[in-house]
């Protein structure tokens, strides 16, 4: 089988290494399985690789895997990597992280939208490129509630459009990802293929391609009538409809005034024995469908009845077929009675790139087909053939059938052939010697002494009923060396000869004229033989697969085995290995016809551009012409290129242009669509910048414009969906130097300005008009006052509040004066709320305290001692997930006042090999400090040996640090566990592991690994 080379890329799509099982020094892979799934044609790929290879370091989560197989590109993300001292075990998923991880929120379409329009909303980053779209003519209005990943939303969108989604990665030459193409096909049905190819003309037979078929029939959910209800209890009582089968018999019906749709033929086949009087033996199902149209309700209910009134059939097929997911085949199992004919679709492929014995195909969309021949007639034909069948017979010998000088012996063996199989043991074999009965049995021994000259041996084969089934005979002879005879007399002289004249006739016969006259031979030309191999050329066959691939676009309608195809662009040569039409024939790569690269040729003459006001009289493909005249349809002074039929405008790319000043090219830039301008001075230009912003509620769109010294921003705002209040407003902000003001205008014409005269809002004309009475604004100070006194004074350096006697001052720092009690340096008070709790934050006795008082005066507090850094809590420290410490009021003092970090991980059913360690979890230390580590595991019965070790151990940076060992011969379930404090440094890794030596592999029923970390 073909060896697949796999490229490993970094998270940024840069090539890191390659796995190649044919390269001795490369990283090799094994125990691999490539799963291909019908939904989205997604893939998973798992494999193992040696951990001691230098390239194994790149098999980490987030990195990518890329390869080509059977002409298809594969691109996967490593999502799981498990490594020990010997093996790296890798799992990778197809598609990009954006599709797998990013989510869409709820969405309701504002109108009936196409698939492409929905995709632009859900995949606004354009992670995928829309390719084939078989539902482009559909427009549907739909709503999604809740959030989904982009991938899940696209699958849901395909379901809404009754379609199937196929994701096809496209790789660059270096195997980095170029793009992901999304192809959308109509959903698979009896008349529509969907994803994959219709290969129902290919028969898969039991015993050849298929290992076994299991058929299951089930009527546990069968019903023969349906009672549908629509919106607002809508029923079908207003309808009277009858559906007939192909023979004109009533198959489905509903009568006016009756709520049920009936299936009388199904009722007769599966009658109800309990409801014979009440329901006329019908088995009814109540069914709901969201519609207010009675005809729609009838159509949908009839479709449901057709599915439910027949037995449900399910099939399981075992085997492997060389195909892609989605391909549809015909499966035949003649061991069934009557023979079973199925049409089935490949749902999942499991393939190994290193061991094809692991390959397996899973089918779905089974449909049982009917044989094209009447079963009774077929049986009669088979019986007739069987009754008169004569088998091909032959004889083989152990030592030939010719004896010399009466010496030796040989054994004759009867052979009866059924196809390529010898079935002589199924018949009675009677041997005859020169027509007389000799013996019974498949073999007979003949001695040379029994053959004086020659003897004929024959056998006849008869079945158990004595019916003749075949015969064969062989002549055994004996040759003796004779004595040399005397020389004979000379012969008579011959007559004079005549040289013959030979003429070749048109029909290939020969006319020969000699002394005996004229004679004509039969025609010498035989029948036309089968055509020989043909050669084809083109660019439709690609890749280097030696197993053979199908190229539907090859254009070859009748390929034969050993036909050849050459791609002149790549030099690749292919041979046909399976005959048929373009969508059936397979072509295998057999080599490349390109020779080694030749030496560079001599330098050619310099090209030139024809310059004229009229079209050149002589034109050659690729020539350039600068048009200086006024030819209709052409641009004056533009350069054109002749493509062999018309003049095409010749475009220069940026890399071909190098000038010191842009004016050397043109004074008019025209329209510039992309790029950036750095370090230049722009004069006399108008700048227009369109913008689009949105949040979860509203969309903001508008234009920022700079023209003639005026900066204006015009914004239109509207609600993003029907759940938000309707809002459509247009706001214009304008900065005008000539008016010395900034103006803001709403869509209703209301204007607010800020200028030298102050701030005006709507009808207000100055700052004084919008400031309440008793308030003044002066240079450098704002005073807010009432009739009694100044309340607040705000200056660049202070904030004075005259609300209470003690007052407050804001001068860079905030100073809160004491309340009067001893040691009280001032507090911020938060009045009690609905829970009756009053809170304070303040300083008291050189501590920063937080208090909480309830209505009865009881309080709990927490404080940080400023002198030694200790932290005290009377009520216990609470953290999300439970208590961090108990509530006894201990102090975490000195350098250890910081709260600890917690890590815990557990698991079940870990298989432990005998005599080797297995790592279960690791913790990466965030900084220097101390770690309190506990590890425990529950071992099941360990055998009856006198000494069995069970170990729960710890590694620090990969080196053994501590083992908690239990040694016993008991078969009882037992914990091995322990706890230890470890001084650690930043980026140290603590790893938990387990060990047992019972003499065989055992199961670790449960384990738990916990770390409490204290930063120093």
**pLDDT tens digits for 73-96?**
999 999 999 999 999 999 999 875
pLDDT of residue 175: 93
Q: Which of 651, 679, 702 is the last residue of a domain?
A: 651
- The three-class DSSP label of residue 179 is strand
Query: What is the b/e burial string over 576-598, where b = at least 16 CB atoms within 10 angstroms of the residue's CB?
Result: bbeebebeebbbbbeeeeeeeee
- Based on the fold, state whether residues 367 and 326 are members of the same structural domain: yes
pLDDT of residue 915: 82
- Based on the fold, state whether residues 118 and 160 are members of the same structural domain: yes
Helix (H) or strand (E) holding 882: strand 882-883
- Based on the fold, state whether residues 76 and 191 are members of the same structural domain: no
Q: In Å, what is the CA distance from 647 to each residue of 614, 622, 640?
A: 13, 10, 6
Q: Tell me the CATH number at 448.
A: 2.60.40.10
Evaluate whether residue 822 is within a structural domain.
Answer: no
- Based on the fold, state whether residues 613 and 580 are members of the same structural domain: no
Evaluate whether residue 831 is within a structural domain.
Answer: no
pLDDT of residue 767: 45
Contact 291, 231 (CB under 8 A): yes
Contact 780, 796 (CB under 8 A): yes
CA 367 to chain CA mean position, Å: 26
- Based on the fold, state whether residues 13 and 89 are members of the same structural domain: yes
pLDDT of residue 885: 39
- Based on the fold, state whether residues 88 and 209 are members of the same structural domain: no
Domain that residue 46 falls in: 5-93
- Based on the fold, state whether residues 693 and 643 are members of the same structural domain: no
User: Which of 1007, 1006, 1004 lies closest to 921, judged by CA?
Assistant: 1007
Helix pair angle (150-160, 115-122), 10° resolution: 170
CA angle 917, 919, 920 (to 5 degrees): 135
**Cα-based torsion angle of the residue sequence 672, 678, 680, 681 in order, rounded to the nearest 10 degrees:** 80
- Based on the fold, state whether residues 709 and 746 are members of the same structural domain: yes
Q: In Å, what is the CA distance from 416 to each residue of 429, 437, 462?
A: 10, 19, 11
CA 650 to chain CA mean position, Å: 43
Q: Does the global pTM surpass 0.85? A: no
Taking the chain (1016 residues) in runs of 10, the rounded mean pLDDT of each run is 90 94 94 89 92 95 94 93 95 76 88 94 90 94 87 88 92 92 90 89 78 81 94 94 91 94 92 65 91 90 91 77 89 76 86 91 73 48 62 89 90 86 91 93 92 92 90 90 68 58 69 72 66 80 87 88 84 88 90 70 62 86 86 86 83 57 53 60 73 74 80 76 58 70 72 67 48 49 53 53 43 53 62 62 67 59 55 47 37 44 84 85 88 84 63 83 72 72 89 84 86 82
Evaluate whether residue 107 is within a structural domain.
Answer: yes
- Based on the fold, state whether residues 627 and 696 are members of the same structural domain: no
Evaluate whether residue 382 is within a structural domain.
Answer: no
Number of domains in the chain: 8
Contact 110, 161 (CB under 8 A): no
- Based on the fold, state whether residues 698 and 717 are members of the same structural domain: yes
Q: Which of 256, 275, 310 is the last residue of a domain?
A: 310
Evaluate whether residue 365 is within a structural domain.
Answer: yes
DSSP character for 147?
-
Q: Which of 160, 195, 230 is the last residue of a domain?
A: 195
pLDDT of residue 664: 47
Evaluate whether residue 944 is within a structural domain.
Answer: no
pLDDT of residue 689: 82
- Based on the fold, state whether residues 208 and 323 are members of the same structural domain: yes
Evaluate whether residue 167 is within a structural domain.
Answer: yes
- Based on the fold, state whether residues 346 and 206 are members of the same structural domain: yes
Evaluate whether residue 10 is within a structural domain.
Answer: yes
């Amino acid at each position: 089988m073909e060896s697949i080379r796999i490229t490993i890329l970094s998270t940024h799509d840069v090539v890191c290494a390659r796995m190649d099982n044919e390269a001795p020094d490369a990283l090799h892979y094994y125990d691999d399985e490539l799963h291909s799934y019908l939904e989205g044609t997604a893939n998973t790929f798992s494999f193992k690789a040696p951990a001691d290879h230098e390239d194994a370091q790149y098999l980490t989560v987030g990195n990518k895997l890329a390869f080509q197989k059977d002409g298809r590109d594969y691109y996967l993300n490593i999502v799981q990597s498990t490594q020990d001292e010997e093996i790296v075990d890798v799992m990778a998923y197809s598609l990009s992280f954006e599709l797998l991880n990013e989510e869409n929120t709820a969405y309701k379409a504002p109108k009936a939208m196409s698939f492409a329009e929905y995709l632009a909303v859900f995949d606004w980053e354009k992670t995928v490129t829309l390719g084939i779209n078989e539902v482009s003519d559909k427009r549907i209005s739909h709503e999604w509630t809740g959030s989904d990943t982009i991938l899940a939303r696209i699958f849901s969108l395909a379901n809404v459009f009754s379609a199937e989604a196929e994701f096809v990665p496209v790789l660059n030459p270096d195997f980095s990802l170029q793009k992901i193409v999304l192809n959308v096909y109509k959903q698979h049905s009896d008349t529509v293929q969907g994803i994959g190819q219709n290969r129902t003309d290919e028969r898969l037979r039991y015993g050849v391609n298929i290992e076994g078929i299991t058929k299951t029939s089930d009527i546990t959910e069968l019903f023969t009538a349906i009672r549908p209800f629509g919106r607002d209890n809508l029923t079908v009582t207003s309808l009277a409809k009858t559906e007939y089968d192909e023979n004109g018999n009533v198959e489905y019906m509903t009568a006016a005034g009756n709520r049920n749709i009936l299936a009388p033929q199904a009722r007769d086949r599966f009658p109800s024995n309990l409801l014979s009087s009440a329901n006329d033996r019908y088995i009814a199902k109540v069914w709901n469908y969201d519609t207010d149209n009675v005809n729609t309700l009838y159509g949908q209910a009839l479709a449901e009845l057709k599915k439910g009134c027949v037995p449900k059939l399910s099939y399981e097929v075992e085997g492997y077929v060389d195909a892609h997911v989605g391909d549809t085949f015909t499966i035949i199992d003649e061991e069934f009675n009557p023979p079973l004919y199925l049409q089935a679709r490949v749902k999942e492929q499991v393939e190994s790139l290193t061991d094809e014995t692991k390959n397996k195909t899973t089918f779905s969309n089974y449909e049982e087909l009917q044989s094209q021949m009447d079963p009774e007639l077929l049986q009669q034909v088979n019986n007739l053939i069987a009754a008169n069948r004569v088998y091909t017979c032959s004889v083989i010998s152990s030592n030939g059938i010719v004896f010399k000088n009466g010496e030796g012996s040989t054994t004759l063996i009867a052979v009866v052939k059924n196809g390529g199989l010898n079935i002589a043991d199924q018949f009675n074999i009677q041997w005859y010697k020169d027509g007389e009965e000799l013996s019974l049995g498949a073999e007979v021994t003949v001695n040379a002494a029994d053959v004086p000259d020659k003897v004929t041996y024959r056998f006849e084969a008869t079945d158990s009923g004595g019916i003749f089934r075949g015969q064969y005979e062989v002549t055994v002879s004996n040759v003796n060396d004779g004595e040399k005879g005397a020389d004979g007399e000379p012969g008579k002289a011959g007559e004079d000869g005549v040289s013959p004249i030979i003429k070749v006739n048109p029909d290939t016969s020969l006319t020969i004229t000699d002394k005996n006259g004229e004679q004509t031979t039969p025609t010498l030309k035989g029948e036309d033989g089968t055509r020989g191999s043909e050669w084809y050329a083109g660019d439709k066959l690609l890749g280097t697969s030696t197993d053979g691939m199908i190229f539907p676009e090859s254009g070859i309608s009748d390929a034969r085995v050993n036909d050849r195809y050459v791609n002149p662009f790549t030099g690749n040569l292919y041979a046909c290995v399976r005959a048929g039409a373009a969508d059936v024939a397979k072509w295998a790569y057999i080599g490349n016809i390109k020779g080694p690269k030749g030496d560079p040729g001599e330098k050619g003459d310099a090209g030139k551009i024809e310059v004229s006001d009229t079209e050149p009289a002589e034109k050659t493909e690729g020539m350039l012409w600068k048009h200086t005249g006024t030819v209709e349809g052409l641009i004056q002074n533009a350069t054109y290129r002749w493509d062999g039929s018309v003049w095409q405008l010749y475009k220069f790319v940026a890399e071909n242009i190098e000038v010191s000043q842009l004016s050397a090219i043109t004074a008019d830039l025209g329209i510039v669509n992309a790029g950036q301008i750095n370090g230049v001075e722009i004069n006399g230009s108008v700048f227009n910048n369109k913008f689009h912003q949105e949040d979860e509620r509203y969309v903001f769109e508008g234009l920022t414009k700079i023209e003639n010294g005026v900066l204006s921003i015009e914004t239109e705002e509207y609600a993003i969906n029907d759940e938000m209040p309707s809002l459509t407003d247009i706001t214009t902000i304008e900065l005008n130097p000539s008016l010395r003001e900034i103006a803001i205008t709403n869509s209703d014409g209301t204007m607010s300005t800020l200028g030298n005269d102050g701030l005006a809002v709507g009808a207000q004309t100055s700052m004084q008009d919008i400031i309440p009475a008793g308030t003044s604004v002066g240079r450098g100070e704002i005073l807010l006052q009432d009739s009694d006194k100044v309340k607040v004074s705000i200056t660049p350096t202070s904030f004075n509040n005259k609300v209470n006697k003690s007052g407050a001052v804001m001068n860079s720092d905030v100073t809160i004066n004491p309340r009067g009690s001893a040691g009280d340096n001032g507090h911020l008070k938060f009045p009690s709320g609905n829970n009756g709790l009053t809170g304070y934050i303040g300083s008291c006795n050189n501590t920063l305290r937080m208090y909480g008082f309830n209505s009865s005066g009881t309080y709990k507090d927490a404080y940080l001692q400023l002198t030694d850094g200790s932290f005290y809590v009377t009520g216990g420290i609470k953290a999300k997930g439970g208590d961090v410490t108990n509530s006894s009021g201990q102090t975490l003092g000195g350098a250890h006042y910081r709260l600890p970090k917690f890590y815990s991980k557990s698991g079940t059913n870990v298989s432990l090999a005998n005599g080797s360690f297995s790592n279960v979890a690791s913790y990466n230390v965030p900084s220097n400090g101390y770690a309190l580590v506990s590890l425990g595991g529950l071992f099941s019965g360990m055998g009856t040996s006198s000494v069995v070790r069970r170990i729960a151990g710890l590694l620090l940076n990969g080196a053994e640090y501590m083992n908690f060992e239990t040694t016993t011969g008991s078969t009882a379930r037992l914990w091995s566990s322990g706890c230890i404090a470890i001084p650690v440094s930043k980026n140290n890794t603590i790893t938990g592991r387990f060990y047992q030596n019972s003499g065989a592999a055992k199961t670790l029923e449960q384990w738990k690994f916990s770390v409490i970390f204290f930063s120093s």
